[in-house]
């Protein structure tokens, strides 16, 4: 956005940058719609569903949450009635939807009890094999499994 602003200062338009920004701004809603569809396809409503978010940070293997779209995803899921929890090895505690919450460990039981797992940030230290083994369904917004050549009916790419 800084680059787009700088280009405008010099009397030019940065249409591609502005279009990319619009697309990025719409992604949280798109992800939530994807989660709703995935759950609906499995005869489960988003309202009342337990959703485990993997990663809150802006990017992989850092603790910076500034401008992270994960918070918008959490807010939108909450607004639609989902019970939202998260795991992030770099964010021990965060305010989600007006409430302070702690990162939850990715145990087999917790993953199994989730109706949907959503990978928002693919940190290196997350046990993706455990997620794949126990999650009823995974919405993979980071192509974590596709990049590894993993094929599963329970993994839904973005």
CATH assignment at residue 136: 3.40.50.720
In a domain, 8, yes or no: no
Q: What number of CA atoms fall less than 13 Å from residue 75's CA on the CB side? A: 11
Q: Has residue 97 got a pLDDT over 90?
A: no
Helix (H) / strand (E) element for 101: namely strand 99-102
Query: Mean per-residue pLDDT for 65-86?
Result: 97
In a domain, 48, yes or no: yes
Measured CA to CA, the distance from residue 94 to residue 101 in angstroms comes to 5
In a domain, 32, yes or no: yes
Cross-strand partners of 141: none
pTM of the prediction?
0.89
Query: Mean per-residue pLDDT for 20-48?
Result: 92
Tally of residues, the chain: 158
Range of the domain at 32: 27-157
Tell me how many helices (H) and strands (E) the chain has: 6, 7
In a domain, 11, yes or no: no
Burial of 72 (0-12, 13-18, 19+ CB in 10 A): middle
For the chain, what percent of residues have pLDDT higher than 90? Answer: 80
In a domain, 72, yes or no: yes
Q: Which of 102, 134, 98, 93 is nearest to 117 (CA)?
A: 134
In a domain, 33, yes or no: yes
- The answer to whether 114 touches 48, Cβ cutoff 8 Å, is no
Q: Say which residue the tokens 């990319």 belong to.
A: 20
Query: Mean per-residue pLDDT for 15-39?
Result: 86
Confidence of residue 15 (pLDDT cuts 50, 70, 90): confident
Structural domains of the chain, count: 1
Strands 50-54 and 99-102: unpaired
In a domain, 49, yes or no: yes
In a domain, 67, yes or no: yes
């Amino acid at each position: 956005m800084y680059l787009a602003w700088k280009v405008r200062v010099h009397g030019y338009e940065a249409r591609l940058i502005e279009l990319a920004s619009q697309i990025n701004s719409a992604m949280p809603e798109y992800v939530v719609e994807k989660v709703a569809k995935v759950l609906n396809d499995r005869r489960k409503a988003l309202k009342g569903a337990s959703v485990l978010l993997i990663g809150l940070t802006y990017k992989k293997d850092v603790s910076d949450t500034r401008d992270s779209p994960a918070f918008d995803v959490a807010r939108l899921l909450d607004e639609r009635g989902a019970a939202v929890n998260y795991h992030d090895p770099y964010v021990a505690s965060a305010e989600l939807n007006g409430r302070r919450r702690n990162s939850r460990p990715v145990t087999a039981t917790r993953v199994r009890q989730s109706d949907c797992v959503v990978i928002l940030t693919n940190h290196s230290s997350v046990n993706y094999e455990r997620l794949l083994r126990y999650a009823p369904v995974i919405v993979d917004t980071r192509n974590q499994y596709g990049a590894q050549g993993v094929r599963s009916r329970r993994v839904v790419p973005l």
